[in-house]
Amino acid sequence: MLKNPSMILSVYIVMMMIYCPLLIKNRVWGRMIIHHYHTTNCVASFIYPKKIRRTSSLSNCRRNDYQSKSILAAVLPHGPFSSSSSSDHSSNNIPHDSVSYIPMALAALRKAARYAFHLQPEYPSISANDPNHNDTIIAKKQIQNQNFTFTKVDTSPVTIADFGVQALVLHSLKKSLELQQEQQIHGNDTTSSVSASFTFIAEEGSDMLRQNPSLADDILHLIHTIPGCCDGISRIQTLDDLFSSIDLGNLSYDSQTGHVVSSISSSSNKKERSFTWCLDPIDGTKGFLRGKKQGGQYCIALALIEKDIPVLGFLVCPNLPVDANDRQFAWKEEEEDCTKHHDRKPSSRGCIFVAYKNGGCYQLPLFPPTTTATISNTYDSDASTEGAIRIHVTPNDGIIYPLHQVRFSIAVERGFGDPLGQGLDMARYIHGTLHPSTGDILYCDRLDSQAKYGLLARGSSQVFFRLPKRESVEWIWDHAPGKIIVEEAGGIQTDTYGNPISYGYGARMDPQVEGVLASCGGVIHQGLLKAYQETKRNLN
């Protein structure tokens, strides 16, 4: 028997020297060890999983890392397997390799965000006698006073912001993906081992603009004029570029049925994986039109779907307060436009939610807090993840937030997300009463867009619902980004019967889905499901 502590320690060290190299070669145990090491600032364990499996030295992990201002280093400040991770992210759930697409998506989305931010009015109607005289503002005012907003066949509004954002995001993504594939062919790309084909699904088409060339010219002028939204590979030169970039989003599906009819790129390689980029260019158009200082919230919502599951999601929320406890959704009169800060000073408003499968959910600043000119040969500083913090939903055991005290995040207009009033009945069932003076939900934040999912993910609220008319079938871009944002923060999204929602039906969601419920999970979601079933009986 070994009774001497020093002998025990010596034997332990020898055993570790023998077994560690063997364990590292093993796919599961090797990853567990390296991910433990990752909590001390090694990010290569999920950026280069194949390289790590081939190494026999943990020190190589450090050498494979990016330099001090890494594109991806800040996206996981604590690591996917740190003690701060949610309990359902076990060591067997390896982070999805879609993480390699985060930089290109951020670069595209931030440029589009500048475009949208400059176009959103402060109030629903803007005076034509504005003292500003730069070309961007003048062009913006002229368009807003004339043909800024259209009504689509389904009676929903669409603005020039929708068209411009869709063109910027899809054009930039397509160019970045083509560049990445070219680098893979020549062996120059070390950030991704994914061999894949891509389909783009987005809300808008170019038909309206083709019928109105002068309006298309105005949009192109704005893209070229607004600072910082048309740099690098995202540059759209001509009207043909504008039209083709917008139409990337609807070439692959039937606009009536939503069924996917083709893939943007294809290959005979049977091992090649198939992904779908899903974009809502301006999610919450009514909030966008309501204006900054009237509390108009909107977001640019993007998801990457593999098979029927969102594996990567982004919600770009230019007007949302950075502080999770700040419920001032309307801009104050004295608040300053964060895009005017050329030195990228921190702002109290504007954030991006990013999540990827088995990797967690993060909140990033709307724009990078540094002025780094470039951080790689491919992406500019808009791809930076600097300033990212990991976020989590409210604990769902019902102790910190009892069911009768949960806060709802729902649509501004009661008839939009709850046309039958069942949601109001659910809230009464859960809270025991409605607000005595307004007759509204007792604890509630009403705001437009999928920014509501962001509030849920960071613990600002605990419950979300969307209960459309029975004959209505939702589009996937309205919920796919929100799904992965909430679930990677530790929450859950289901249909009204507690079943997971499939996003593999094309541009439309499963027609059997009666509504969407999301929450921080646990006993809170159980109570939400029960409230739905009880109030549904009362409607029948």
28 and 144 co-located in one domain:
no
Q: Give a yes or no: residue 337 inside a domain.
A: yes
Whether 281 contacts 476, CB under 8 Å: no
Q: Looking at the structure, tell me whether residues 299 and 319 fall in a common domain.
A: yes
215 and 269 fall within a common domain: yes
Instruction: Select from 330, 356, 389 the last residue of a domain.
Output: 389
Determine, yes or no, domain membership for 517.
yes
DSSP string, 157-215: EEEHHHHHHHHHHHHHHHHHHHHHHHHHHTT---S----EEEEEEES--SHHHHT-HHH
Last residue of a domain, one of 95, 110, 142: 95
**Residue-level pLDDT at 150:** 59
Token pair of 435, please?
A: 């607000």
Last residue of a domain, one of 356, 389, 422: 389
Range of 535's domain? 403-539
- The tokens describing 445, both together, are 């934040």
Separation in Å, CA 540 to CA 399, 422, 536? 33, 11, 6
Q: Are 183 and 189 within 8 A, CB to CB?
A: yes
- Residue 77: pLDDT over 50: no
Residue 461 domain flag: yes
Hey, how many other C-beta atoms are within 10 angstroms of the C-beta on 398? Answer: 16
Tokens of 403: 């069911």
Residue 203 lies in a domain: yes
Q: For residue 91, with 0-12 CB atoms within 10 Å meaning exposed, 13-18 middle and 19 or more buried, which class applies?
A: middle
- 135 in a domain, yes or no? yes
Could you report the per-residue pLDDT of 119-155, keeping only the tens digit for each?
Answer: 999 888 443 334 443 333 333 433 444 446 555 555 5
Q: Assess whether pLDDT exceeds 50 at residue 430.
A: yes
Q: Is the CB of residue 358 less than 8 Å from the CB of residue 93?
A: yes
Domain identity same for 381 and 484: no
417 and 371 assigned to the same domain: no
∠ CA(175), CA(178), CA(184), 5° rounding? 140
Neighbours of 533 (CB within 10 A): 12
Domain-located, residue 395: no
Q: What is the structure's pLDDT at 321?
A: 95
Q: Where is average pLDDT lowest: 69-73, 241-245, 333-337, 505-509?
A: 69-73
What values do phi and psi take at 279, rounded to 5?
-130, 130
* Same domain, residue pair 256 and 110: yes
Do 376 and 462 lie in one domain? The reply is: no
Share of the chain above pLDDT 90, in %: 54
280 and 348 inside one domain = yes
* Tally of domains in the chain: 3
Name the DSSP class of 407.
P
Q: What is the CATH number of the domain that holds 523?
A: 3.40.190.80
Tokens representing 377 are 């040969």
H/E stretch holding 124:
none
441-487 pLDDT per residue, tens: 999 999 999 999 999 999 999 999 999 988 888 999 999 999 999 99
Does 398 reside within a domain? no
Q: How far apart are the first and last CA of the chain?
A: 75
Whether residues 91 and 192 fall in one domain:
no
Which tokens hold the place of 504? 């593999």
Q: What is the pLDDT of residue 259?
A: 65
Regarding whether 212 and 63 lie in a shared domain, the answer is: no
The first and second tokens of residue 61, run together, are 């992990």
Asked whether residue 167 falls in the same domain as residue 276, the answer is yes
Same domain, yes or no: 83 and 123: no
* 31 assigned to some structural domain: yes
Q: Residue 361: how many CA atoms within 13 Å on its side-chain side? A: 29
Tell me the mean pLDDT in the region 244-253.
87
Distance CA 332, CA 295 (A): 10
Say if CB 284 and CB 298 are below 8 A apart.
yes
The tokens 């028997």 sit on which residue? 1
Predicted confidence at residue 44, as pLDDT, reads: 27
CATH code, 221: 3.30.540.10
